Amino acid sequence: MNATNEATAHALPLAGITVVDLTRVLAGPICTQILGDLGARIIKVEPPGAGDDARATGPFVDGQSAYFLSLNRNKESIALDLKNPADRHIFERLLARADVLVENYRPGTMEKLGYGWQALHERFPRLVMTCVSGFGQTGPYRGYPAYDMVVQAMSGMMSVTGFPGGDPCRVGVSIGDLGAGLYAVIGTQAALWERVRTGQGKQVDVSMLDCQVALLENAIARHGATGQVPGPIGSRHPSSTPFDVFRAQDGWFVIAAGKDAMFKRLCETLGRPELMRDKRFATSEQRCIHHDELKQALQQRLLERPRSHWIGLLKASGIPTGEYHTVGEIVEHPQVLSRHMLAQVQNGRGATLTVAGNPLLAGQGAPVVRRQPPLLDADRQRILRELGAD
């Protein structure tokens, strides 16, 4: 880490916090990467030999995993076998200096290793322990393994994704892992703040399934209010219309004008004032009931001109709108670039990879990547010297 990056790290909100990172693959590593982005020191403890499972997951950049590179910036690496007495001694010395331990093993694994919450809390009372798992540390599913797809299906998330009549559809990103990782960041920071008041660390128990249920937005509330089971409805909003994707002469774009006053403005802007006088579209509730008829009427008009024409008019009228983009297009968008939402990481051989940045740091102009993703065990000697160990 150069002098500029060290100065940046000291200015960040989690500067001075040390995290021992026992995580692998996605949910745990995204949590610790965000903590690292925010200034915490992340010491990634990996199994000797292969390391984090993500190191073997493609695609690969010059022989190294792009998947791993995208989730492990701003971290150090040391390889330790937690069944080996000498390595356990090193691990425990790390814990004695750490503020946080983050792990995403199946519940019960840490207890078998002798590092369950009760044992650790007795030895290291100020240590915060964040545990990320498929189903949490309690409950009948406690010991079951889970991946993103499992919790997306079980939670009901897949049941509200896609189009009516289609097969069950996974959300296009690993929202099961990402949601858990984000909640783990929130829980970890809350536990650190509680420690300021109490002087005691606590266990943060994050379940991937719990997080998916929490992310069901108003689907559960709508079920409770109406007794109806929500299902997939495509790209439109369940309680606000028009709030959907539309096709212009040359491509797709979005109109989000569900409020009554905004709908009237939309009709005037599009030159279809008769629609706001139609009883079927008089209120948001009526527009939701007759969403198909309204979309057809709007779509007929929108096909007459290119989307740049309509987007220009809608923006001038203060109506929320935006282009539909592919991933290839959004990574070149001037707004994204101006906010520094893309970062460059390098593998151990110097090959560069573009990855997503951190929205909490966007717009600040500070470098997101202060330390490149580590090779396995790359920081062993320096860490051992700090610990005064052989």
Give the mean model confidence (pLDDT) for residues 230-237: 95
pLDDT one-digit tens code per residue, 157-206: 999 999 999 999 999 999 999 999 999 999 999 999 999 999 999 999 99
Looking at the DSSP bridge assignments, the partners of residue 256 are: 243
Q: Which amino acid is at 23?
A: T
| DSSP secondary structure string for all residues of 259-296 | SHHHHHHHHHHHT-GGGGG-GGGSSHHHHHHTHHHHHH
Q: Do 3-215+336-387 and 243-247+252-323 share a fold? A: no
Give the mean model confidence (pLDDT) for residues 205-225: 96
Q: What is the structure's pLDDT at 350?
A: 87
Q: In this structure, how many other beta carbons lie within 10 angstroms of the beta carbon of residue 18? A: 15
| DSSP secondary structure string for all residues of 147-214 | -HHHHHHHHTTGGGSS-TTSPP---SS-HHHHHHHHHHHHHHHHHHHHHHHHS---EEEEEHHHHHHH
77, 375 in Cβ contact below 8 A?
A: yes
117, 107 in Cβ contact below 8 A?
A: no
For domain 243-247+252-323, the CATH superfamily is formyl-coa transferase, domain 3 (3.30.1540.10)
The CATH number given to 3-215+336-387 is 3.40.50.10540
43, 124 in Cβ contact below 8 A?
A: no
239, 296 in Cβ contact below 8 A?
A: no
Distance between CA atoms of 21 and 42, rounded to whole angstroms? 6
Q: What is the structure's pLDDT at 206?
A: 98
User: Above 80 in pLDDT, residue 120?
Assistant: yes
Nearest to residue 332, comparing CAs of 310, 360, 354? 354
pLDDT one-digit tens code per residue, 72-83: 999 999 999 999
Report residue 220 as tokens.
């559960």
Q: What is the structure's pLDDT at 7?
A: 58
Single pTM value for the model: 0.94
Nearest to residue 44, comparing CAs of 76, 66, 13? 76
Q: What is the structure's pLDDT at 8?
A: 65
Q: What is the structure's pLDDT at 372?
A: 97
Query: What residue spans define the domains of the chain?
Result: 3-215+336-387, 243-247+252-323
Collapsing DSSP states into helix, strand and coil, what is residue 352? strand
Q: What is the structure's pLDDT at 60?
A: 95
pLDDT class of 365 with cuts at 50, 70, 90: confident
b/e for 144-163, b at 16 or more Cβ within 10 A? eebebebbbebbbbbbbbbe
110, 185 in Cβ contact below 8 A?
A: no
Which residues are identified as catalytic?
Answer: 237
In percent, the amount of the chain with pLDDT more than 70 equals 97
